């Protein structure tokens, strides 16, 4: 299963999803089929600032270091995939990098 999304610079892309992630996204989206997956309490699309705030709450609950932020977790996920033996091309697609040299930094 793939998620179609709009990334940085309004670039459209797709991202492969695992079953647990797919289930979580479907639960978050409820019966909606378009628009943002994550909504605020008011029902508006969650923006980057809101995502950062939510991340801080989850970081505290998980007992992770205080400086952990969404981009730190992104780096960790890419590194973990490569360390686990995932092909560079798969990690590059996951990271939505156009150049594999960026993924290997």
2-48 pLDDT, tens per residue? 888 777 788 888 877 889 988 988 888 888 888 787 888 888 888 88
**Residue 68 confidence (pLDDT):** 92
- pLDDT at residue number 3: 80
Please say if the pLDDT value at position 105 is more than 80.
Answer: no
Better pLDDT: 105 or 58? 58
* Among the listed residues 73, 78, 79, the one whose alpha carbon sits nearest the alpha carbon of residue 94: 78
Is the pLDDT confidence value at 79 over 90? yes
Q: Model-level pTM?
A: 0.66
Parse the chain into domains and list their residue ranges: 1-46, 47-105
- Give the E-state strand segments of 1-105 in sequence order: 2-6, 12-16
How many Cα atoms sit within 13 Å of 5 on the Cβ side?
17
In DSSP terms, 16 is beta-bridged to 2
Residue 23's φ and ψ, nearest 5 degrees, are -60, -40
When pLDDT is cut at 50, 70 and 90, the band that residue 87 belongs to is: very high
Confidence band of 57 (pLDDT split at 50, 70, 90): very high
Q: Is the pLDDT of residue 64 over 80?
A: yes
């Amino acid at each position: 299963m793939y998620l179609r999304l709009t990334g940085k610079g309004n670039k459209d892309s797709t991202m492969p999803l695992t079953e647990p992630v797919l289930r979580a996204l479907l639960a978050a989206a409820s019966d909606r089929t378009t628009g943002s997956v994550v909504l605020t309490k008011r029902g508006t699309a969650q923006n980057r600032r809101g995502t950062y705030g939510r991340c801080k709450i989850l970081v505290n609950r998980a007992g992770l270091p205080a400086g952990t932020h969404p981009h730190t977790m992104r780096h960790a996920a890419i590194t973990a995939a490569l360390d686990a033996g995932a092909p560079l091309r798969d990690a590059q697609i996951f990271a939505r990098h156009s150049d594999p040299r960026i993924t290997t930094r």
